[in-house]
Structure 1
């Protein structure tokens, strides 16, 4: 009788040299965490490692992680929350693979993503970081965000990042450990725009590439920061404080647009209390524009950003030869 070997038996994972680490920060995501972990561990590869940092959860996350019997998984629990960025940095430090892929605990990887990432970095030793497209899943359905075919040069990439023209989520960021360490990792004191700020620092010293795939599911859960209007102004103020580019006249209108759109969006969606709170926060902001010129600046910035998006959209990949009935949703160049 011939016994067929099991591909990548877990026993081998104990001695395999990790090639890629997946780092997951989590807080009170007990319900979605099994789906997230399965999207990594179901791959079956022995040369990956998964690191989960439980950032002070109170919903039984610790008990669940203790039941996951897989030698590729390492997890730590903090008794009190210190923020997702500190958790990401801690997870990266606990891992050893030369590549680090980040994944939020309410998102998931499509099958084949890890294989593709490892192959891409093997074939492109000059690339330090990639960002990919993704499928945005919400109650209203699925929206696909694709990136352009060609990655712009460093200066243009910085402009697109500062103008919020590129669809971003931490779950599509993969970076070489050496580059991540060289720039100091995620800013531990920034709680919005973490991915954008990290990429801006990386772009100064390293090559970043747009990926060809949309092999990440971004689930918009009820406690996703990106869905909450409250805190938008504070988060933008903190981000702008770290980006001296915004003090240039070239970004004056864009910054007016980015500032005003937060309260306006909250109001348009009927969240009047949040809109009022954001206006009050705006009055206290230290790095955001104010005065009568802000409103005309908003419309100028909106137009400027739209032109950038249109130019970017002309380079965006077409849908992968699927009949319209199989892929009825349009590709986009911005998730905001």
Structure 2
């Protein structure tokens, strides 16, 4: 027996998540909203995750999809294709939902609303909440264009798991995650979705609707690989759907991301000069566009200018400053 006419589809990609998947699944099934369809996509796990998923196969709210390992975007796309809910939520297998996270979002949805954006509470790998500050406003109602600037700059929210999407809008426009991009593909999906909203509004709330568990391996977060530079393609695709009113904030974020990854690549000594030079060229083009769009007066803009002049020198100086700080 399966759930008929689900109101909301929760899509969870699963890859080697044996240590967290029970907490994740139980947090979804414990939601107050009964018309929840939970889609679990096993993305070629090599641990005990597939066996663990089988224990939920008979549950009326659970659907299980198994596929060869194709990456998180491939798994999410499989979930979208299988979804039937009027609304979509994405949850990562390492994370979990707070109580009533779904009903809290659904209560705000009406014909004039296309997206709900909430807050995420971070947790350490040991389960301790990480102190965070949240916006003072209880709720902000934005146009789709203003929401772009809000998510890019004013209240940065680059992921998908703290949002409630309209399922039919995603499916009817065949909106999918780009499986060739390994970095900022989430933000690309969000920006493409916002471009489809038309006159529908975006509601931002300060309620916590997602529990994000930080990675235990901090080295993974700090190291950089060539695949991370696929962010350049994400931003190139984003630019196609954004308007001129978004340019300043778009280029600000692009420069912030570009300089961060270039810094890591330069000081690592693991990238060839041609690769770094190509991304320095891209950075400088973006900086010129940023100047044309109208500069945001803050410390970052000064850093962007210095990095434009000499990326390698600034990177080495930054490395020395960080080393001196740790030594102190």
Instruction: Give TM class, smaller chain.
Output: 0.7 to 0.9
Report how far residue 161 of structure 1 moved. 3.7
Is 1:133 the counterpart of 2:124? The answer is no
Counterpart of 2:112 in 1: which secondary structure?
Answer: coil
* Secondary structure of 1:77's aligned partner: strand
Q: Secondary structure at the match of 2:132?
A: strand
The verdict on how the C-alpha distance between 1:160 and 1:277 changes in structure 2, with shifts beyond 3 A counting, is farther
Mapped contact 1:240–1:287 kept (Cα < 8 A) = no
Report the more deviating stretch, 190-199 or 162-171: 162-171
Structure 2 portions without partners, runs of 5+? 302-328
Per-residue deviation, residues 140-172 of structure 1 (Å, max 9, x unmatched): 851436355324333332234444851343221
Shift of 1:224: 9.2
Matched residue, 1:150: 140
Question: Which residue is equivalent to 2:224?
Answer: 230
Equivalent of 1:193 in 184, 194, 198? 184
How far does the alpha carbon of each residue in 1:174-208 deviate from its partner, in whole angstroms, 9 at most, with x for none? 11112112443232323222331122112223133
What's 2:239 paired with? Answer: 244
Q: Is the 8 A contact 2:188 2:235 kept in 1?
A: no
Aligned CA RMSD, in angstroms, stands at 3.7
Check the 8 A contact 2:11/2:39 in 1, yes or no.
yes
The gaps in structure 1 that reach 5 residues or longer are 1-12, 307-336
- Whether 1:52 and 2:29 are equivalent positions in the alignment is no
Partner of residue 256, structure 2:
257
**Preserved CA contact (<8 Å) 2:151 2:158:** no
Would the aligned equivalents of 1:23 and 1:103 in 2 still touch at CA under 8 Å? yes
Find the counterpart in structure 1 of residue 59 from structure 2: 70
Runs of 4+ aligned residues of structure 1 deviating over 6 Å after TM superposition are 223-226, 245-249
TM normalised by structure 2 equals 0.72
Q: CA deviation at 1:84?
A: 1.3
What is the DSSP-based 3-state SS (H/G/I as helix, E as strand, rest coil) of the residue aligned with 1:187? coil
SS of residue in 2 equivalent to 1:132 = strand
Give 1:22's aligned residue: 10
Q: Secondary structure at the match of 1:133?
A: strand
Q: What is the distance in 2 between the residues matched to 1:146 and 1:111?
A: 19
Distance across 1 between alignment mates of 2:275 and 2:24: 35
State whether residues 7 and 87 of structure 2, in contact with CA within 8 Å, keep that contact through their aligned partners in structure 1. Answer: yes
Structure 2 Cα separation of the partners of residues 253 and 15 of structure 1:
45
Number of equivalences: 283
Distance (whole Å) between structure 2 residues aligned to residue 191 and residue 287 of structure 1: 21
Separation of aligned partners in 2, 1:24 and 1:183: 21
1:129 is paired with a residue of what secondary structure?
strand
Against the structure 1 CA distance between its residues 186 and 278, is the aligned structure 2 distance closer, same or farther, given a 3 Å change threshold?
Answer: farther
Q: Give distance in 2, aligned partners of 1:302 and 1:282.
A: 28
Query: Deviation digits for residues 184-241 of structure 1, max 9, x if unmatched?
Result: 3232323222331122112223133213411211111247999353247513212122
User: Match of 1:9?
Assistant: none
Change (3 A) 1:46 1:119: same
